[in-house]
Amino acid sequence: MIKRKLLGQHFLNSKSIAELIVKEARVSKTDVVFEIGTGLGILTSLLCKNAQKVISVDADRNLIKKAKSELTQLDNLLLKWGDGFKQKDKFSIFVSNLPYSKSKDAIEWLAQNSFSHGIIMVQKEFAEKLVATSKNRRAISIIATYAFDIEKISDVGKNNFSPPPKVDSVILKISKKTIIDKKLISTINNIFSYRRKTVKNILKQFNKQSTIEKRVDDLSGDEIVNLAKQILEK
């Protein structure tokens, strides 16, 4: 268990929560489901019941070996060892109890991919950050709300995991609105390193001109994305 804590992952041990996640994923026989974090396979086996195919990836080689020995009867399951965010598989639905340390990376990776929707479980504080407004926003808030419609499904207490984390979690549904490429994501992150500056002074950093005296906190999400696009224009 110590290794899993280092990876920032905690095993979901509640069958009822696993069933809720799978129900909200609305998987059909035409869907390819991509799961990051096979863990003990509590979600994996349930997802296979309705999916055309489930691709499940875990960074722990021993867990993949264990899953391969225990889930041999599932002929629509492909298990992979490695970094899920480096996989190139096509999928229509994403499902994951995300490692807390990888939540930001996951949102940025998902923003770059084409799929229908996903059900993710994240740390409660991170869920609040994704939908934050005004001065509480971060770059990831802008990226997430531009790329997805985000709906809260349920709170999940820490006692539903083994080992239990120090904080509660939240199940979110994310429905894809648009794809954001890597350069745009990087530029949005850059803009937030200048958030105390005005748009005029931010653009000056990139050899662009503007007369807008608003600061980043005074801009809407769409305006921040458009500012990033303006910076990227040649």
Query: Is the pLDDT score of 4 beyond 80?
Result: no
Query: Is the pLDDT score of 2 beyond 50?
Result: no
Q: What is the mean pLDDT of residues 24-52?
A: 96
Residue 214 and residue 104 share a domain: no
Residue 65 and residue 101 share a domain: yes
Domain count, the chain: 2
Q: What is the mean pLDDT of residues 152-156?
A: 97
Query: Is the pLDDT score of 125 beyond 50?
Result: yes
Reported confidence tier of residue 9, pLDDT bands at 50, 70, 90 = low
Whether this model's pTM surpasses 0.85: yes
Residue 162 and residue 215 share a domain: no
| Predicted pLDDT at 133 | 84
Residue 195 and residue 176 share a domain: no
Residue 76 and residue 62 share a domain: yes
Residue 200 and residue 188 share a domain: yes
Residue 110 and residue 126 share a domain: yes
CB atoms within 10 A of CB 222: 11
Count of alpha carbons within 13 Å of 120, Cβ hemisphere only? 26
| Predicted pLDDT at 98 | 83
| Predicted pLDDT at 5 | 43
In whole angstroms, what is the distance from residue 118 CA to residue 95 CA?
6
Residue 141 and residue 36 share a domain: yes
Domain of 220? 184-232
Domain boundary among the residues 180, 196, 212 is at 180
Residue indicated by tokens 């096979």? 38
Residue 151 and residue 200 share a domain: no
Residue 201 and residue 122 share a domain: no
